[in-house]
A = this chain, B = another copy of it.
Amino acid sequence: MDALDTLPDEEFLRLDRQICFSLHAAARAFNGVYREALKELGLTYPQYLVMLVLWEHGELPVKGIGERLRLDSGTLSPLLKRLEAAGHVERRRSAEDERSVTVRVTAEGAALRERALGVPRRIGAATGLDLADITDLRERLTALAARLDGLDPDELRPSCG
């Protein structure tokens, strides 16, 4: 039994506004909190995401970063240039495959990690959620994103609505 099917379109539009807004606003609010916490590190939120995966792996090709963060080269190329200009990473073309560019954390970038260690704890405190809440929310969002990313575009076309 899906209660959604019983709602008229009008009500759907109202509900949609609430959902659209809540997700959009939550993402921006989260972004804003991180912006504040990361200000002292000189990192933006997406740059922090990139540094997090690089801190875990030491070095990765641009493609590898993109796969882990679902970002394409159009977003990553200029972002990585800025991280390199800031001295946090180094980029060099791969010897085995001249098409590929390997991104490696510099000594300065590794030192930045130490200064970043306190950030997540402060964010966690700001959310007011405990570990179970956070984990639950994370799992739901991950599942939702996975489903939406794997969607056939045709399912969103009017003929299928």
Residues of A within 8 A of B (CB): 2-4, 7, 9-10, 12-30, 32-34, 36-37, 40, 45-46, 48-49, 52-53, 55-56, 68-70, 113, 116-132, 134, 137-142, 144-145, 147-149, 151, 153, 155-161
Q: Is the CB of A155 within 8 A of B126?
A: yes
Q: Is the CB of B156 within 8 A of A37?
A: yes
A156 contact set on B, CB distance < 8 A: 25, 33, 36-37, 122-123, 126
A127 to chain B, nearest CB (A): 6
Q: Is the CB of B158 within 8 A of A18?
A: yes
CA distance A48 to B17 in the complex (A): 9
A127 contact set on B, CB distance < 8 A: 144, 147-148
Query: 6 tightest CB-CB pairs across the interface, nearest first?
Result: A16-B120, A27-B27, A122-B161, A29-B148, A26-B141, A18-B158
